[in-house]
Amino acid sequence: MTNQKRPMILGHRGASFGRVDNSREAFESIAPEGGDGAELDVRATSDGVLAVIHDPVIRGYGAVAEHSFEEISKAMGGGLLRLSDALEILNGQFVDIEIKSDPKEVGWVPSELTSRLLAKELSNYGGSSRLMVSSFSIRALEVFSNLAPDFAIGLLTSIGSDAVALCHAATEMGANYILPHHSSLDGQVLKDAHELGLGVIAWTVDLNERVSTLAKLGIDGIITNKVEAAVAVLSGAA
């Protein structure tokens, strides 16, 4: 995880700067911009489809979890992707699949359900080293990992969280990566994480200077809306 020439550049919901996030266009734009893959979000619909969508509620319509995939897609004007659609577009690239599971959300779906659906979906991909599952929910990751132990998992934390505590929590649960907000990271945190055998992927880094700093510190991956700009920084073109 730490022997690559430069960090992985992952498009935040695709190469989403100037595009609709989690969309076909955003995902198709990653490779032409020089990126290595994508971070995307999945939620379970009422008919058990894993939809690639960030927000729990469609404004003016209702909760994702309370409607079928086709109903939600129609309400959004079309273009909503299934996870299988996104993985087909991103074939061969690294994909960080985030399980959205927050009990405070409207229409919350218990993490066990989404994790089980995801484990079943990914069983078709045979433990691909190009796929990782992440979440802020330890429970979601534990359920998924028990069902699909061959896939890497990563523990996310919010802005302002203690990155050192994150390292230890990730190690205890058997995670492969930590995904802290970039503001929580410094050289010591990266050193500690790597010594524990953890890869480190930072979110969401859109400032060129911060991209450069994290790369020099030895970060393993950078999630960004501005894929082309981040690649240019790392290639010395910006």
| Structure confidence by residue, pLDDT tens digits, 43-66 | 999 999 999 999 999 999 999 999
pLDDT of residue 128: 83
The answer to whether 171 and 192 have CB atoms below 8 angstroms apart is no
pLDDT at 126: 80
The HSE-up count of residue 22 (CA atoms within 13 Å, CB side) is: 22
CA distance 52 to 40: 7
Closest CA to 184 of 166, 211, 199: 166
**pTM, rounded to two decimals:** 0.96
Question: Could you give phi then psi for residue 113, rounded to 5 degrees?
Answer: -65, -50
Distance CA 207, CA 139 (A): 33
Q: Which parts of the chain register pLDDT below 50?
A: 1-3
